[in-house]
Structure 1
Amino acid sequence: MATPAESISPGLDIPEDEEDPKQLEKILQQECESVSIDDSRRVELKPLIETEQIDDSFLKEDRPSGHLTNDPVLIRYQRSVVGSLAKSAGKNLLMGKSLMNISLPVRIFEARSYLQRITDQWGNMSFLVQSADATDPVERMRLLCTWMISGLRFTVLQAKPFNPILGETYQATYPGGINLYMEQVTHHPPASSWLMTDDAKRFTFTGSAEYHAMFKGNSISAHQFGPQRVEYRDGSSIEFDWPNLHMTGYIYGQRYSHYNGTLTFRDVKNQLQCQITFNPDKKSWFGSVTSWFKKPTKTLPSDFFRGEICRYPLMNATSMKAVAASATLSAPVAPLPSSIASQKTVLSTCFGTWLGFIDWDKKRYWDVRLMRPIAPTPVENPLPSDCRFRKDLQHLARKELDEAQKAKEEMEDKQRQEASWRLSGYGRKT
């Protein structure tokens, strides 16, 4: 489908208030009227950990921002599915609608559960192991931050995983005696939790994720809420949160993925905090207005980031009690009060792009061209509740789309019925 929006610059970050509602309405109407889904053109996507093609383009500072999905067949097929969904559900219902409240067709799914999908970010496990072996708290912080940042490129697969059902599990291992246990712990809101252990008892990694995604016309905004914590055998721990994900090009234009916001890592025992800001050159509204009267300056693509590790001498277990108490699901690492934040010493700085590298104090710690992430290996004899036993997932893996859709709907109906029983029995949602 040719659209009038093809003149939009590739990779342009389009804020939601700048999207043209009339144009979106027109294009979506065209999709609804001409919708024709050809399942022979469906692209079976595999995890980016296995398939991502790496080149040197991320090093350029005069390129479009974000991660480009350059697969015209995939995108055209997905747009036909969106058009079909809009035709059946009503195009107005999709605008600004939470995707967590819409039963989506398996045609745009991958044959994995969200429990499996979460692990895509953890592929460069050597950084986590090195952080456990580090004796310098600052170096440990550098390595743990590098572990999380280096996995972001592999999290933007353009296919939806299956939502786990309550009690669904996943068990897997990584090389070196690292064990992973995951479970879907609540149905509404949906939340997943995990425990990663090390046979050598060097570290324990725990966390939970409540996933939210909102369809906003030509884009999807997604965010995972919940705390993450790595505890080390010396008694110290580092807690951290999640960045925001924004994906454009679902109705027109090219398909780009962008991470934004600020990531915070905190080690209370050693009085350390690291903050990493994506798109650090982004101007505020006031800055954008005043820049009209100044000579244009070069800005980096929005996938670049800057950060710093600081020591806060007033940060201790006592002073942080109130801060910890103010933490929420959406901000598990609550902001430091001014009484603590005002006194700090910068110990280390970082610069890079989540597409390809991170430098600490001008020393290269990660280069995507030199390190290939690894996926966890599922255990051979898992619990009966393991996600790999799901019928809908199994049908989709065999490319049996109709059977997969039917099995998915049956599972969703059963889960809604069980939730209703729990609500009537206990008076609350679980």
Structure 2
Amino acid sequence: MASRLFKRPWTRSNDGSEATTASRPETPDDDDFHDAEEAVLHPDAHEEGGLAFNNRELLESQRSAIYELIRDMGMKFLTGHINLINMSLPVKMFEPRSYLEKLTDVWVYPALLTKAASCTDPVERMRWTVTWFVAGLQHVFQSWRKPFNPLLGETYQASQPDGSTVQMEQISHHPPISAFQITGPGYLFVGHSQPEVTFRANAIKTTAKGMRMLHFADGTSIDIVYPAYYMRGILSGTPRGEMVGTARFTDATHGLVCDVTFGKADGAAPSDRLLNRSDTCTATLCQLDRTNLASAQANSSASADASQERGWSKRLGGLTGRLTSLSLINRADNGLPEGSQVIGRGLGNWLSYFEWDHHRYWSIGESHATLWQPDPAALPSDCRFREDLVALRAGDVKQSQVLKEQLEVRQRQDAKLRKP
């Protein structure tokens, strides 16, 4: 499917004032990226919004496996709130990768994060951090097959051409928790992901709880709360992936909070087809007043103390150094604190472009993802060496199923031995 172009309703003139597309002077040799009048939409964008699943052969295979699950579990599968993470699913639904590998799919624009790290202005750094996040969202649905659940102690190591490295480890089996650390030019991205994948009616919802924090060389840190991912139309029609809810970014040091909300942009003109799509994202960047900032920092300290008592800080210590709990100010389900002053607005579409205050920061047609390259000297515990993954990668589905079940039995036996 060819990429689609959408005219922007306005551009920015040289003096910074708004100008209509019609009044903008024609400059054939103008290659100003920020003032581009056309926005390219992802070639697989679904007409109803989100990213479409257009691989018909794979779709039929996945649906066949889901129908088998429904047959085995009955109506509970359709009407219940079932966490797929805790279920043993058939290998034919899987891709030959671990969840540890899949986590890196969205972190493929390191150049944008390097720009954030190079900023001395905390506001501009926040803009680039949010842009980096939005740019990677198209890769959430890079694969429509389920990855393998990591085994306890399983690891993954990889690098980027710019020298960035990622180290990951599965630190808990129940609940499943994956810890990660990305080290790049001027930044350190650390945290853990505790996914919950639920099936209900005709959709699969994924939420990934956990702490995610960007540390920069000057001591600034930005907490990130992720939105929910939906895969709709699993049993009928053309499936599509969507982002739902709000992502929140918090720089407590400088009193900055940015909410990125997904869905049709408020006030978008009916003629602006791009901003009326469900994959539109709107960012509101706010400066907190000092009273709210002090309260937030106090709440953060109290939450961190409570988390240490639960023991997770100790278990994450080797990778993250410390666990900073998300305080009330960091929770995306709460409104922005009273007294916040809006100091910037972002607008775009995670399948097309993103801009801040009418200046383009990222475009799908201009930026190129760089994939993570597995470490050739990885630890023996690296997920790529798992027997069931190796078998599936070689195309032996039956042997992979046998090996997967053997590993699951071994995990259950090991879990019993760890109990006091």
Which residue, out of 286, 296, 310, partners 2:286?
Answer: 310
Per-residue CA deviations over 1:214-245 (Å, capped at 9, x if unaligned) read: 11121111111111111111111111111101
Number of the residue aligned with 1:76? 60
Cα distance, 1:66–1:93 mapped onto 2, change above 3 Å: closer
2:252 to 268, 274, 286: 268
**Cα gap change, 1:262/1:379 in structure 2, threshold over 3 Å: closer, same or farther?**
same
TM-score, length-normalised on structure 2? 0.78
RMSD between aligned alpha carbons?
2.9
Alignment partner of 1:404 is 2:400: yes
State the shift of 1:323 in Å.
4.6
The offset of 1:61, in angstroms, is 11
Query: What's 2:154 paired with?
Result: 168
Q: Tell me which of 86, 93, 104 is aligned to 1:119.
A: 104
Whether contact under 8 Å (2:40, 2:364) holds in the other structure is: no
Alignment counterpart, residue 181 of structure 1, candidates 167, 170, 183: 167
Matched position secondary structure for 1:373: coil
| 2:226 corresponds to 1:242 | yes
Q: 2:347 maps to which residue?
A: 351
Distance 2:171 2:155 in 1: 9
Give 1:154's aligned residue.
139
Q: Which digits, 9 at most, give the CA deviation of each residue in 1:136-155, with x for residues without a partner?
A: 11110011111111111111
Query: What residue identity is the alignment partner of 1:66?
Result: G
**Which of the residues 192, 202, 205 maps onto 2:178?**
192
CA shift, 1:416, in A, is 1.2
3-state secondary structure, aligned to 1:165: coil
Deviation (angstroms), 1:79: 1.1
**Helix, strand or coil at the partner of 2:276:** coil
Normalised to the residue count of structure 1, the TM-score between the two structures is 0.77
What amino acid sits opposite 1:155 in the alignment?
A: V
Question: Does residue 363 of structure 1 match 2:356?
Answer: no
On the 8 A contact 2:258/2:283 being kept in 1, the answer is yes
Query: Which residue number corresponds to residue 289 of structure 1?
Result: none
CA distance in 1, matches of 2:352, 2:109: 13
After the TM superposition, which of the residue ranges 395-404 and 347-356 deviates more from structure 2?
347-356
Pair 399,340 (structure 1): closer, same or farther in 2 beyond 3 Å: closer
2:30 paired residue number: none
User: Which range moves more in the overlay, 68-77 or 317-326?
Assistant: 317-326
* Displacement after TM superposition at 1:101 (Å): 2.2
Q: Does 1:92 align with 2:86?
A: no
Amino acid paired to 1:325: A
Distance 2:404 2:45 in 1: 44
TM-fit CA distance, 1:209: 0.2
Q: Is the 8 A contact 1:395 1:401 kept in 2?
A: yes
Structure 2 Cα separation of the partners of residues 401 and 63 of structure 1: 35
**SS of corresponding position for 1:320:** helix
Q: Does 1:332 align with 2:326?
A: yes
Q: Is 1:142 the counterpart of 2:134 in the alignment?
A: no
Q: Deviations over 1:17-71 (max 9, x none)?
A: xxxxxxxxxxxxxxxxxxxxxxxxxxxxxxxxxxxxxx93459999421111112
Paired residue type of 1:137: P
One-letter amino acid of the structure 2 residue matched with residue 65 of structure 1: G
Unaligned runs of 5+ in 1: 1-54, 284-294, 426-430
Distance change >3 Å, CA 401–CA 230, structure 1 → 2: same
AA aligned to 2:288 is Y
Q: How does 1:51-70 map to 2 (within 5 A)?
A: 56-57=40-41, 63-70=47-54
Instruction: State whether residues 99 and 214 of structure 1, in contact with CA within 8 Å, keep that contact through their aligned partners in structure 2.
Output: yes
Residue number in structure 2 paired with 1:6: none
> C-alpha displacement at 1:76, in angstroms?
1.4
Q: Is the 8 A contact 2:248 2:330 kept in 1?
A: no
1:100 touches 1:212 (CA, 8 Å); kept in 2?
yes
Quickly say closer, same or farther: Cα 1:69–1:333, change in 2 above 3 A: farther
Structure 2: gaps spanning 5 or more residues: 1-38, 313-324
Map 1:383-398 onto structure 2 (within 5 A): 383-398=379-394
Q: Is the 8 A contact 1:266 1:333 kept in 2?
A: no
Alpha-carbon distance in structure 2 between the residues aligned to 1:319 and 1:159: 40
Do the aligned partners of 1:227 and 1:333 also contact (CA within 8 Å) in 2?
Answer: no
Q: Where in structure 2 are the equivalents of 1:367-386 lying within 5 Å? A: 367-386=363-382
C-alpha separation in 2, matches of 1:182 and 1:72: 33
Task: Work out the percentage of aligned pairs sharing the same amino acid.
Answer: 34
Q: Is residue 61–residue 300 contact of structure 1 (8 Å, CA) maintained in 2?
A: no
- Mapped pair 1:321 → 2:307: no
Match of 1:37 in 2: none
Please say if 1:257 is aligned against 2:241: yes
Rounded to whole Å, the distance in 2 between the matches of 1:60 and 1:352 is: 17
User: Which portions of structure 1, spanning 4 or more consecutive aligned residues, are displaced by more than 2 angstroms?
Assistant: 55-63, 85-96, 280-283, 315-319, 323-329, 331-340
Structure 2 CA distance for partners of 1:186 and 1:264, relative to 1, 3 Å = same
- Tell me how far apart the structure 2 counterparts of residues 256 and 417 of structure 1 sit (CA, whole Å): 39
Aligned to 1:28: none
Secondary structure of 1:359's counterpart equals: strand
* Superposition deviation, residue 249 in structure 1: 1.3
**Which residue does the alignment assign to 1:130?**
115
In structure 2, the CA distance between the partners of 1:340 and 1:159, relative to structure 1 (3 Å rule), is closer
Q: Contact 1:269–1:317 (CA<8 Å) still a contact in 2?
A: no
Query: Which piece of structure 1 moves more, 70-79 or 88-97?
Result: 88-97
Moved more, 183-192 or 72-81: 72-81
Q: Is the 8 A contact 2:44 2:54 kept in 1?
A: no
Q: Distance in 2 between matches of 1:61 and 1:174?
A: 27
